[in-house]
Structure 1
Amino acid sequence: MSSPEQWTHPDPGEGPAAQAAQPSREQVIAGLRATTEGGAELTQLLTPEGERVGSPRFDRYVEDIDAEALRGLYRDMVLVRRADRECNAMQRQGQLGIWVPLLGQEAAQIGSGRALKPQDMAFPSYREHGVAFTRGVDFRELLGIFRCTDHSGWDFRAHGFHPYTIVIGNQVLNAAGYAMGQRFEGKVGNTDTDGRPAENDEATIVYFGDGATSQGDVHEGFVWAAVYDAPLVFFCQNNQWAISEPTERQSRLPLYQRARGYGFPGIRVDGNDVLACLAVTRWALEECRHGNGPVLIEAFTYRMDAHTTTDDPTRYRLSDELEAWKLKDPIERVRAHLARNGFAEGSFFEQIQAEADEFAAQLRDFCFNMPEPPPERVFSQVYAEPSPELDAQREEYLAYLDGFATAGER
């Protein structure tokens, strides 16, 4: 029978493989501990208490993050959280059809999003509001998706941020294809005249949750990216719950270790540590731009709210678990670090909170006064070129709607 260490860290040659289809009690406990605490392989630069810890491997990737930059990361997270809470409230008030909260995942999204360069491309699922914010997408443009009036209102090429993907895991295949194109077009692995890596080389990042790792599309994306050395960072936000299913119901191993089976590196980072997420993602993107192939990042975090506003998490998880993760809050650890080291005064935090409240008020005003799009808009921008078939469908549909108005006049 394998040991708990073998169960959570099955390196080759470290003892026999498990002999039974079901793990032993000790193996289950070891797996749960790795799930709830992150395990020994967790990369962390900022503790939950706000203390900076050194990392010989990753410190160099955040050398430019001084007090001003850290205050900027704090501002990003506060504004995004405040907007998220406002949107959650607006859904309850009937202004949005649904909302997908990101509460608790601000560090994973802001840290990784700020690691991207302008020429990079990001493929989100449906929860990456923080990444959208870092890519310059107007938060108001997200509202149409959840008000069910639009698919996406932004120019994804200009922002380097693909439209949201609702089908679980499908964006991973899209991202793999895009990254393969970057490889085929020679946009990775180049050098400048001085022999240093080219500054304009590209990379792609794709976001998905722990639940999506059970989808075939994700595994196919792993295969294609590995075979073609695609410059693709797989960024898994492991928030512990795939709706009502915990991570340990989906995998015997920590998710980052799955990368080994496909032949590329995997790493687990503290997803509530914005500094670590920034550093690890910068490293992974650098690996991709240099032509070394894909990387899997497992951002170990926690979903503090419901899966969506249609979900009731009190039916499947304990309040004690939620309270324990509140102590690891991604925003509070940065606040503590700034205050403890004299990098910010009380007036700074008050100013950011006031800015966040104003940001939320603008979102609310926009949402409450959002015009309903005309019915013919559903036919716009379906194809790049004009389509006689689509034109005929549009005319038929508009004539059908006109029939109701005509009937009402009789």
Structure 2
Amino acid sequence: MEKQNKLQYKFLIIISTAYLAVDINIQGFLALMPFIREEFSLNSSTAGLYSTFHYLLATIVAVFSGQIVDKIGSKKGLVVGTTVLGFLMFFQARSPSFSLILLLALVSGLFFSIITPSLNKAVMLKTTPENRATSMGVMQMGGGIGGFTGAILLPFLAEKIGWRNSVSISALTAVLVALFIYIFFKEEKDKNNVENIRSSESQAGFKDSLLKLFQNKNLLLICFFGLILGFNSGAVPTHYTLYLTQDVQMSRTAAGFAFGLLQVGGIIGRPLLGFFNDKLLNSSRTMGLVLVGLLLTAVNIYYAYVISVFEMSIYLIYLSSLVLGFLTLGWMGLYFTAVVELASEKLTGIGTGLALVFIRLGVLLSPPLFGLLADLNNNYQMSWFALSILTILCTLVFAYVFKDNFAEI
């Protein structure tokens, strides 16, 4: 596949539908948590276990999933992952207990784990460094659009036809998207390049490839920073509708709309943070990530001591949701650009998998901890404050380590 300096919009739109289908289901399901908590009589920390179970196996097998993608290619990874995820979401919609939902979420994470390496590898093979962060952000807009659609549409449908039927519809969407990718993603144009990569990796072996990545200290530091980014992107979406309905006293429908705006902020943030990094920060990935960490700290403190304390206009809360989503969900394109550039084309899949281990570890740990603090204090104020402290500490350490080479990475 020939790399071109201009953005490949048609290619990016086609592959981004995989993220669209996945996030309609995952983020849409999270938006339905007030309905699910009511049916199964759950507390905040128990409700937060959904994200933990979904990402548990996804975290454990992330590196192996990346290796699989390096071998089978992006198209097969996207089609298989999206199809099976759709069926598993349908089974969740029909589950008689929350325990069974958690078990199915555990299995769905296994197939979800091959989506991101497949997409990152496709973008890495197609783009040049001059527009890679922007391209990665445009591709990941699909996830934001899917999250917004799920957050707005699924609670609306749940009010009309029940949350189970609304999830069933989103599950069918995932299967249809997999068929779309199978038809329109022409991966055969990459055949020679992909075969060369497969041959090289086959000779090197999984252990040798992983050892090579562990010897890359800059890549490991980027991966470690993904842990705190995962804390933010795991805790905030999982608890956002619960926080708004409990602490801010918003209706479930209004909270669902605010959750949708959170996703819109992520849609806007993914390409814009990449564009700003490519054009305004001279493609310094580390400087861009430090700025994201500082801004995340500020917005978490704002939620802890402004939104949680004062009676705010609903429109200001909607605007705040946009900003929160811009930072909490908008960093992914920039972050994965740093990862794939440090990992190289041949190790894009396994490098992405290694980074996902750290991100998903944060996603695993943060929802129940965020919810536990809320249960202990009967509100989410301490949860926001603790998240802000953790974020600023990790950001300052990351900035100190990279202080001498911001321009190079």
TM-score, with length taken from structure 1 = 0.26
Query: Which structure dedicates a bigger proportion of its chain to strand?
Result: 1
Query: Which structure dedicates a bigger proportion of its chain to helix?
Result: 2
TM-score, with length taken from structure 2 = 0.26
Q: Whose radius of gyration is greater, 1 or 2?
A: 1
